[in-house]
Structure 1
């Protein structure tokens, strides 16, 4: 039984580390979309999309919008 609890502890620790790493990258923007939309508008102010976008690539879209 000690081997099983050790294995579960190691696996649980790995899952916790992956979850802690994914929270600020993936889950927090999904939970607070208004904050990230505001931040995105500030960061993209003054950028002309046509000057940056390489030809033939898909145009930027709102990552928080519906697909």
Structure 2
């Protein structure tokens, strides 16, 4: 195996690994907004934002809402 091919395979494997790690973290919630919003509603149930948020910082907002 040539040195260039081996380097390309290692680099390509690394990029693939990064892509596989980012898919469930970033891309999946963007593609399935309704499911993500339902999960967040369940996760944040019973949390009072003002009690958790440090003073002087902006209160949480919907990251997918209109700006």
Give the structure-2-normalised TM-score. 0.89
The one-character-per-residue Cα deviations of 1:33-55 (angstroms, maximum 9, x if unpaired) are: 11010001111111111111111
Unaligned 5+ runs, structure 1: none
Question: Greater relative contact order (Cα 8 A, min sep 6): structure 1 or 2?
Answer: 1
Give 1:66's aligned residue: 66
RMSD between superposed Cα atoms in Å: 1.3
Q: Would you identify which runs of 4 or more consecutive aligned residues in structure 1 move more than 2 Å? A: none
- State how far apart, in whole Å, the 2-side matches of 1:18 and 1:30 are: 18
Give 2:26's aligned residue: 26
What is the count of residue pairs matched by the alignment? 67
Unaligned 5+ runs, structure 2: none
- State how far apart, in whole Å, the 2-side matches of 1:39 and 1:16 are: 27
SS at match of 1:42: helix
